[in-house]
Chain A
């Protein structure tokens, strides 16, 4: 293919012709498609380390679409799922959406609708991947902090002044200043505002600790 792949689209459907058709449609739109005849086969497949999404049939022998969604959630997968059902009832679709499905489409589906969902799904996949990458970096920086520096960080992001921090932690104001400089250096934060953002990203809020 001359068109560069823009991400991997996994397709899980028990119907061979549907798999083949959807796979072709994805390739015609420039995606790399991988098809699986059952949820079990898909689970046995190693997860992708590129932006990816899953087009998932609902009604399948063996593990059904919603059951696979549940299994992936337990495994902590961040793979966005677009359900494609020929037999969509409202309770099933509502449950799928509540459990984080990106979309719930009806067969037969128009290409622009499906491709739009896939596009959104791949964008989200890319973003969550990037986000999860950034968080990992922040977490590694946080690990460099000493317990005392961590305490100071938690105080700083609440907007407390050095004097207040010194009082709270029962240490000298001068010592607080040294710890604070260390925190800013280790966290690679240029300003208090940036430090607050990084902490929030890592799940440390002003109320934490």
Chain B
């Protein structure tokens, strides 16, 4: 969705060096020989790392418990800093500037390692905490000789001169100087880090998560091993090449980024599957409700069919009379048409409840939803000898949602209310269904019954699955109601009325027409 962000590093990688060459934004001197290979490569590393850091940082902002994401961002920022300092060093023309860059470089490495340990801790979760603490402690210690004491930085006591060597087609500076013995501590911390990640990867492998052990643990081990080797060789003056650990750390960043994106994709697939299951559950619950109502719905259909048949046959008899009363026959035909429409409405309502179609977000009138449900429940309430009273607001704002699912919510609530009437003596039960828009921005639907109410100990968890007050209930109806209402951006609650009985309140947000962006 934000894939265009990935084009950013390429753009920066191409543009930044050109701007640098022209305006001197980056520190240091432009290469005398005109080559830009190193500048382009390291600019791209910086851009890639910063882009990934911002993407996963955004994920963390929306999902504060995604600690692996924030640690990854830290690691990527640190790596970007390393790449920046490395580039700065390569382009340095004075030993002072080089030394300062290297000091800053140590801070970037520190950030990277904090992010690294934090990532292993929060993502693999198989590490030894004390070992991680040791790594961080050792690395933090190296910052003291870096900034305090007479040395230029933790790596060099002093830098005597800079030598220009070719690197990636570009002339770059490498230092000549006296190594600082404290550098051993820095390199020891890197070895500890390698041990830390190796240990975590091995434990991960033993616990059976071999894929993660190989991709994350193995990948990190390789890149960190190569990075350590290079820095040891360079700083002790064994090999003359510019420091480019960030290239290997970029490898780690990419490995971790790949892992995290797999998780994001998995989570996406999982949530899609969950949604599909929710829909399936809602559908099953509807079908079973229709099964419960089948006898009364058949009766509801029988009425118009009976009226149609007797009207039609009466019409035939009237027409067979010597002087047919045509006015009467006309009336009969009109009534037949009306009754046919009535039967059709019942069947349409039934079919809508039975079908399993993808959810829609349509503009709906809450009153219409209630009328449709009452049509399906008419015979059922008559059978149970319960009066359902309507108190519907004359004008309601439009709400957004799936018509069938919201009908299901109302149907479930009304069926529960009808069943609650079983506890009362026949004919004494009363149910009221009402709508209003008392609170701005919300449409409220309330279903109240005069039944025994909800037992106090069950009231709090009444919307949880498998919680039921019925002897033969599965406890799914209200749970389904809650997920439907939540999916429509609404809320649902239950309470017992002071005068006895229970009230269920559903509040749905009204549709605010938005100006579409052309």
Binding site for B on A (CB under 8 A): 2-3, 14-15, 17-18, 20-22, 24-25, 27-29, 59-62, 64, 84, 86-87, 107-111, 114
Chain B residues positioned under 8 Å from A27 (CB to CB): 314
A86 engages B306 (CB within 8 Å): yes
**Closest Cβ–Cβ distance, residue A23 to chain B (whole Å):** 9
Contact of A17 among B304, B318, B328 (CB under 8 A): B304
Give the distance in Å from the alpha carbon of A20 to the alpha carbon of B314 in the complex. 11
Chain A residues positioned under 8 Å from B306 (CB to CB): 15, 18, 21-22, 84, 86, 107-109
B303 engages A28 (CB within 8 Å): no
Judge if B372 is at the interface, Cβ distance under 8 Å: no
Chain A residues positioned under 8 Å from B318 (CB to CB): 28
Known A-B contacts A17-B304, A28-B318; the reply to A110 vs B385 at CB < 8 A is: no
A107 engages B332 (CB within 8 Å): no
A15 engages B307 (CB within 8 Å): yes
B residues 287-318 touching A (CB-CB < 8 Å): 295-296, 298-299, 302-311, 313-315, 317-318
Chain B residues positioned under 8 Å from A107 (CB to CB): 302-303, 305-306
Chain A residue nearest to B328 (CB atoms) is A24
Contact of B308 among A2, A108, A111 (CB under 8 A): A108
In the assembled complex, 19 residue pairs joining A and B whose CB atoms fall closer than 8 Å, in A order, are A2-B322, A17-B307, A20-B307, A21-B307, A21-B310, A22-B306, A24-B332, A25-B317, A59-B299, A59-B379, A107-B302, A107-B305, A108-B305, A108-B309, A109-B306, A109-B310, A110-B309, A110-B313, A111-B310
**Closest Cβ–Cβ distance, residue B82 to chain A (whole Å):** 81
B323 engages A61 (CB within 8 Å): no
A18 engages B385 (CB within 8 Å): no
Give the distance in Å from the alpha carbon of A20 to the alpha carbon of B306 in the complex. 11
* Contact pattern, B 4-37, Cβ under 8 Å of A = 1, otherwise 0: 0000000000000000000000000000000000
Interface contacts beyond A18-B310, A84-B306, A108-B305: sample of 12 additional A-B pairs, CB < 8 Å, sorted by A: A14-B382, A17-B303, A17-B304, A17-B342, A21-B311, A24-B310, A24-B332, A28-B314, A87-B296, A108-B306, A110-B313, A111-B309
Chain B residues positioned under 8 Å from A3 (CB to CB): 321
Known A-B contacts A14-B382, A60-B382; the reply to A21 vs B308 at CB < 8 A is: yes
Chain A residues positioned under 8 Å from B302 (CB to CB): 86-87, 107-108
Judge if B339 is at the interface, Cβ distance under 8 Å: yes
Known A-B contacts A14-B382, A27-B314; the reply to A86 vs B303 at CB < 8 A is: yes
A20 engages B313 (CB within 8 Å): no
Chain A residues positioned under 8 Å from B305 (CB to CB): 107-108
Chain A residue nearest to B304 (CB atoms) is A17
* Contact pattern, B 342-357, Cβ under 8 Å of A = 1, otherwise 0: 1000000000000000
Known A-B contacts A17-B335, A86-B306; the reply to A61 vs B387 at CB < 8 A is: yes
**Closest Cβ–Cβ distance, residue A205 to chain B (whole Å):** 44
Chain B: residues with Cβ within 8 Å of the partner, total of 34
**Closest Cβ–Cβ distance, residue B315 to chain A (whole Å):** 8
Give the distance in Å from the alpha carbon of A26 to the alpha carbon of B335 in the complex. 16
Known A-B contacts A59-B382, A61-B382; the reply to A18 vs B303 at CB < 8 A is: yes
B307 engages A25 (CB within 8 Å): no
Give 10 nearest A-B pairs by CB, closest first: A28-B317, A86-B302, A21-B310, A111-B313, A17-B307, A24-B314, A21-B307, A108-B306, A28-B314, A107-B306
**Closest Cβ–Cβ distance, residue A49 to chain B (whole Å):** 27
Give the distance in Å from the alpha carbon of A207 to the alpha carbon of B56 in the complex. 106
Judge if B237 is at the interface, Cβ distance under 8 Å: no
Give the distance in Å from the alpha carbon of A86 to the alpha carbon of B378 in the complex. 14
Give the distance in Å from the alpha carbon of A60 to the alpha carbon of B307 in the complex. 16
**Closest Cβ–Cβ distance, residue A108 to chain B (whole Å):** 4
**Closest Cβ–Cβ distance, residue B309 to chain A (whole Å):** 4
Identify which of B306, B310, B321, B379 gathers the most chain A CB atoms within 10 Å of its CB.
B310
**Closest Cβ–Cβ distance, residue B300 to chain A (whole Å):** 8
Give the distance in Å from the alpha carbon of A109 to the alpha carbon of B306 in the complex. 7
Identify which of A21, A29, A64, A86 gathers the most chain B CB atoms within 10 Å of its CB.
A21
Contact of A2 among B303, B307, B314, B323 (CB under 8 A): B323
**Closest Cβ–Cβ distance, residue B159 to chain A (whole Å):** 99
Chain B residues positioned under 8 Å from A15 (CB to CB): 303, 306-307
Give the distance in Å from the alpha carbon of A18 to the alpha carbon of B309 in the complex. 10
Judge if B383 is at the interface, Cβ distance under 8 Å: yes
Give the distance in Å from the alpha carbon of A182 to the alpha carbon of B318 in the complex. 58
Chain B residue nearest to A61 (CB atoms) is B382
Chain A residues positioned under 8 Å from B389 (CB to CB): none
A87 engages B383 (CB within 8 Å): yes
**Closest Cβ–Cβ distance, residue A33 to chain B (whole Å):** 10
**Closest Cβ–Cβ distance, residue A116 to chain B (whole Å):** 13
A18 engages B317 (CB within 8 Å): no
Give the distance in Å from the alpha carbon of A21 to the alpha carbon of B333 in the complex. 11
**Closest Cβ–Cβ distance, residue A109 to chain B (whole Å):** 7
**Closest Cβ–Cβ distance, residue B345 to chain A (whole Å):** 13
Give the distance in Å from the alpha carbon of A66 to the alpha carbon of B321 in the complex. 36
B323 engages A87 (CB within 8 Å): no
B383 engages A17 (CB within 8 Å): no
Judge if B465 is at the interface, Cβ distance under 8 Å: no
Judge if B427 is at the interface, Cβ distance under 8 Å: yes
Chain B residues positioned under 8 Å from A109 (CB to CB): 306, 309-310
Give the distance in Å from the alpha carbon of A59 to the alpha carbon of B383 in the complex. 6
Chain A residue nearest to B386 (CB atoms) is A61
A18 engages B307 (CB within 8 Å): yes
Give the distance in Å from the alpha carbon of A22 to the alpha carbon of B304 in the complex. 12
Judge if B338 is at the interface, Cβ distance under 8 Å: yes
Give the distance in Å from the alpha carbon of A90 to the alpha carbon of B67 in the complex. 67
**Closest Cβ–Cβ distance, residue B214 to chain A (whole Å):** 67
**Closest Cβ–Cβ distance, residue B284 to chain A (whole Å):** 26
B309 engages A29 (CB within 8 Å): no
**Closest Cβ–Cβ distance, residue A57 to chain B (whole Å):** 10
**Closest Cβ–Cβ distance, residue A16 to chain B (whole Å):** 9
